[in-house]
A and B are shown apart, each in its own frame.
Chain A
Amino acid sequence: MNFWLIQSLNSLALGGVLFTLAAGFSLIFGLMRIANLSHGAYFMFGAYIGLAVLDRGHGFGVAVIAAGLAVGIMGGIVERVVLRRLAGNTLSQVLATLGVAFVIADGALWIWGGDPRPVSPPEFLAGGVQLFGLTFPLYRLAVLVFSILVAIGLWALLDKTRLGVMIRASVDDRQMAQGIGVPATKLFTVVFCLGTALAGLGGVIAAPILSVYPGLDADMLPLALVVVILGGLGSLAGAFVGSLLIGFIYSFGQVLFPDLAYMILFLPMVVILAVRPRGLFGRIMA
């Protein structure tokens, strides 16, 4: 019983981390129709930036904000300098993001070296909390709460603000939206910044759970891909449900079948592709 409860919390926490990663990926895909293959690299880079900020003695909150800002700005520059020039050619854009991913990943290896770096959670979240006579790690609960807040924030942004209306209009029908004066290219930059910033701060949030190591990007990217293939590309609700689902499958898989956890990830993807190739909530995927 204890095992199942604790593992469920771990699954929820991992799902929360995956959501900060997959939400941005899905948002970028929905608007720009490109799979941002550097998303895992932004996640890892964010984690390393957070680590560097923590090493200089700043607090955890500062690290999260700094990583989000830095990675968001980096994403904006990549969008302006590289992706903008390939506008209209989605495949080239996707391949360019792959190139960017290698540059970032190798750059991080160059700067921070190859050793895995553990990160401790902030002090006020370090302990455990008593629930049902069991001790749950407080930090994982906090991660779950944080990701729910991010989900609510994104939903409010997309549903309640003028910017959100413009983004949704462009997702549904880009040409028509441009025709009535929505500045689509500006939106691309904004959404790319937002998506990468989410990945960057997600990296810091995840660091106390996953620690930071070279190859984190290659571990996370397929998880993000499987999440959005499950949930449906471009759908926020799909990203949320898909993240929790993968969080559960991966966490339990790692404990129950440690050798084959990666293989088990693959099953829900196969099932979904067989019965509902658009994904659970998807409208776009052909």
Chain B
Amino acid sequence: MKRALLAAFIVVLLFLPQLTGGVYYTNLASQALIAALFALSLNLLVGYAGLVSLGHAGYLGLAAYSFGWLMTHLGWGHLAAAVAALAVTTVMAGIFGLIALRAAGISFLMITLALGQILWGLAYRWSSVTGGDNGISGLTRPSPFGIDLGNPNNFYYFTLVVFLLVWAAIANWVRSPYGASIRGTKDQPRRMSALGYNVWLIRWTTFIVSGFLGGVAGLMYVYYNQFISPHSLSLANSAEMLLMVIAGGAGTLSGPVVGAALVVLLKNVASAYIDRWIMLLGLVFIFIVMFVPGGIVAGLSRLRRPRLPAGAGPEKTPAESAPAVEKTA
């Protein structure tokens, strides 16, 4: 059943440009896939390691700005700039991890928020490098193996390949023994520590992988937009990514993808009628947290199996399983 659903989902993705017929919808699908990449990478931290981060847009910024700066200021080629951008992002994720993992729970969230805001402030004010409010524009998409990614259809398939690769890698990783140990550090850090696992190292590795994949998503983001500005690093953007994870269902493989698709659709539909996206984002956030805390995917599977009491599903909400501050005090 699950495999059939997955196969059907992939087939739909494969023929989406033909099914919808229209550049607008193809681009919308690319946007949704890129958003899903962000949500999947953030979900490693939020859903599997139980560490709720509010600075994930920082990786978008690090990857996109490094790429843009290397291309425009140093005139590097596509491949070299992309590899260097990913390296920079990964190293910074390592450093941020060293700082943020001094704490857990709410304090971790506050530190990641502060780090994310510092990157945002840097992008805004360090204008000699980042171009300030104007950002860096005039970037181009690469042409791997002579395929022009300027074409929306080609770009969609390129994004799809990256998305499926990342998805498969994450699916394998979280099902591996290492993935089990990550979940262990979320639910029972002290027991894991007593069993001889290095809880800190497991969390740090997850933090870095999450940052690296966030960097991959950031590269796709800058390929798509061919432009980067401080707005992309804002707290609202980090919160949007977190909303995708929580709305869909943290700690599941499909939840963040569903959440990302919904948020991108909502944003596009809403912006056709009103320009109060930030307010709507806030209201949706409050609504989800108050009434669908486990996410839509878990909520749906609960509907299908009404015998299970609320909260007894295989997926715990991040809120239930994140280390409460009282416990760690």
Contact = CB atoms under 8 A, between A and B. Distances in A.
Interface of A: 33-35, 37, 82, 85-86, 89-92, 94-96, 98-107, 109-110, 218-219, 221-222, 225-226, 228-229, 233, 258-263, 265-266, 269-270, 273-274, 277, 284-286
Nearest to A174: B326
Given A86-B290, A110-B276, A269-B111, 15 more contacts: A33-B325, A90-B326, A94-B109, A98-B239, A99-B285, A104-B282, A106-B276, A109-B278, A110-B279, A218-B117, A221-B117, A222-B121, A260-B126, A261-B125, A263-B121
A269 B279 contact: no
A269 B114 CA distance: 10
Contacts of A100: 282, 286
A109 B103 CA distance: 35
Given A102-B285, A105-B278, A92 B319 contact: yes
A91 B117 contact: no
B48 to A, nearest CB: 16
Contact of B122 (A109, A258, A262, A273): A262
A286 B234 CA distance: 28
Given A96-B290, A270-B99, A34 B285 contact: no
Nearest to A263: B122
A241 B289 CA distance: 35
Interface in B211-245: 234-236, 239, 242
Interface in B60-119: 99, 102-107, 109-111, 113-115, 117-118
B128 A102 contact: no
B329 A284 contact: yes
B283 interface: yes
Q: Binding site of B, secondary structure by majority: helix, strand, loop or mixed? A: helix
B111 A262 contact: no
B263 interface: no
Contacts of A274: 99, 102
Given A89-B319, A270-B99, A101 B282 contact: yes
29 contacts: A33-B325, A35-B109, A90-B324, A90-B326, A91-B324, A98-B54, A98-B285, A99-B282, A102-B236, A102-B281, A102-B282, A109-B278, A221-B113, A222-B118, A225-B117, A226-B114, A228-B110, A233-B107, A259-B127, A265-B118, A266-B114, A266-B115, A269-B99, A270-B99, A273-B103, A274-B102, A277-B102, A286-B328, A286-B329
A102 B239 contact: yes
Contact of A222 (B107, B113, B246, B276): B113
Contact of A37 (B103, B105, B113, B281): B113
Interface of B: 52, 54, 99, 102-107, 109-111, 113-115, 117-118, 120-122, 124-128, 234-236, 239, 242, 246, 276, 278-279, 281-286, 289-290, 293, 318-320, 322, 324-326, 328-329
Nearest to B293: A92
Given A82-B290, A95-B289, A265-B118, A273 B99 contact: yes
B286 A277 contact: no
Contacts of B115: 266
A160 B286 CA distance: 38
Contacts of B125: 258-262
A89 to B, nearest CB: 5
Given A222-B114, A263-B122, A96 B286 contact: yes
A34 B326 CA distance: 11
A178 to B, nearest CB: 14
A275 to B, nearest CB: 10
A251 B180 CA distance: 47
The 3 closest A-B pairs by CB, nearest first: A102-B282, A262-B121, A99-B285
A35 B117 contact: no
B285 to A, nearest CB: 3
A207 B318 CA distance: 39
A105 B126 CA distance: 25
Contacts of A109: 278
Nearest to B95: A270
Contacts of A265: 118
B109 A103 contact: no
A106 B121 CA distance: 20
Contacts of B109: 35, 91, 94
Given A85-B290, A261-B125, A229 B234 contact: no
B113 A103 contact: no
B106 A96 contact: no
Contact of B325 (A102, A263, A269, A286): A286
Contacts of B236: 102
Nearest to A282: B107
B246 A34 contact: no
Contacts of A85: 290
Nearest to B324: A90
Contact of A102 (B107, B121, B279): B279
A96 B234 CA distance: 18
B290 A273 contact: no
A11 B103 CA distance: 29
B244 to A, nearest CB: 13
Contact of B117 (A103, A222, A233, A258): A222
Contact of B286 (A82, A259, A269): A82
A276 B285 CA distance: 34
Contacts of B282: 98-104, 106
A157 to B, nearest CB: 24
A95 B104 CA distance: 16
